Chains A and B, each alone.
Chain A
Amino acid sequence: MIRRIVDAPLFMWVILALPGFRMTSTLVSGATGPDGQSTEEMLLHPSGESAAQIMVLAMMITPFRMMFPKNRFWAWMLKRRRHIGVAAFIYAVFHTVLYVVDMDSIRAMLDEFTALGIWTGWLAFFIFIPLALTSNDFSVRKFGSSWKTIHRFVYGAAVATLVHWIFVHNNVGPALARFIPLALLEGYRIWRTLNPKSLASA
């Protein structure tokens, strides 16, 4: 019974929607921040952070699978990786919409577009679009072996997201705290790929 609930697609969607429930309630209530932030401004950071964290989570699955090949949790996660990626995209859409609403001026948006912290955010968002649109069975079949190549662009989106986060806040700590674990895992993955023999001793 529990197994069936856990394996239902809805279960994963509900988990991925959890940060969204909180954000939606803030949006609906129209609450403002302690320093007088507008509702949009208050949700700007949490929405972007959720997008980044969920993207990082999706990217961690393969290296964790290599590290713990028999672990059933990561096998379960792998089956749902496309859902996780799409969830990251949905938070990124929400984040971008909040930004546009909060700016409320095309001119002001263009004016700051060249700031390193801003154009990297747009870049990550525009990389996300084709990845989200092709995260379905039909696209996997249609693109065949090139599907993986397309989806490797997520690494570009990850780097752009990291730079966006650091520079838009002028603060390195929180962004690195989320991305260093991923970098370590990718390092492990590269090391394992280069040293396939170490598998036996690991």
Chain B
Amino acid sequence: MKHVLTGAMLLLMSGAAQASGIYECESVERSKWLTEEQLTQQLVAGGWQEVRRMKPDGGCWEVYGTTPEGQRVEGYFDPVSGEQLLLAQRGRIIFRKEE
């Protein structure tokens, strides 16, 4: 009993999985992507209060910032058109583009 438990625990503690990607975008070559500056300008023009940073994730631009409504979000955007695909507020999905 003790050994089974100890073994199970060691196994679990070692296996902290890394997974990301709440949203997947179609893969498009990087040269066709909007630059960070272009997407930032587009968002600010659309009323975003702040664009803190962005990084590519799942083939999309993943943006951290504050929406026009003042919500701190993590947003997924089409890397070519800059279309808003998903907004998550601390893990709570507050917007998802209809398929």
In this assembly, does B97 line the interface, its C-beta being within 8 Å of a C-beta of chain A? no
Cα distance A134–B18 in the bound complex, in angstroms = 38
A170 close to B22 (CB less than 8 A): yes
Q: Give chain B residues whose Cβ lies under 8 Å from the Cβ of A116.
A: 91-92
> How many B residues touch the partner, as a band?
20 to 34
Asked whether A181 and B53 contact (CB < 8 A) given A170-B91, A202-B2, the answer is no
Tell me the minimal C-beta distance from A44 to chain B in angstroms.
11
Across the interface, B13 reaches (CB within 8 A) one of A68, A103, A115, A177, namely A177
User: Are the C-beta atoms of B53 and A35 separated by less than 8 Å?
Assistant: yes
For window 54-72 of chain A, which residues contact chain B by CB distance below 8 Å?
67-68
CA distance A138 to B35 in the complex (A): 61
- A174 pairs with B66, CB closer than 8 A: no
B45 on the A face (CB < 8 A): no
| Residue on B nearest A119 in the bound complex, by CB | B90
Q: Are A117 and B91 in contact (CB under 8 A)?
A: yes
- The 3 lowest CB-CB distance pairs between A and B, nearest first, are A173-B17, A36-B53, A115-B92
State the A residues within 8 Å of B (CB): 35-38, 67-68, 103, 105, 107-108, 111-112, 115-118, 167-171, 173-174, 176-178, 180-181, 184-185, 188, 202
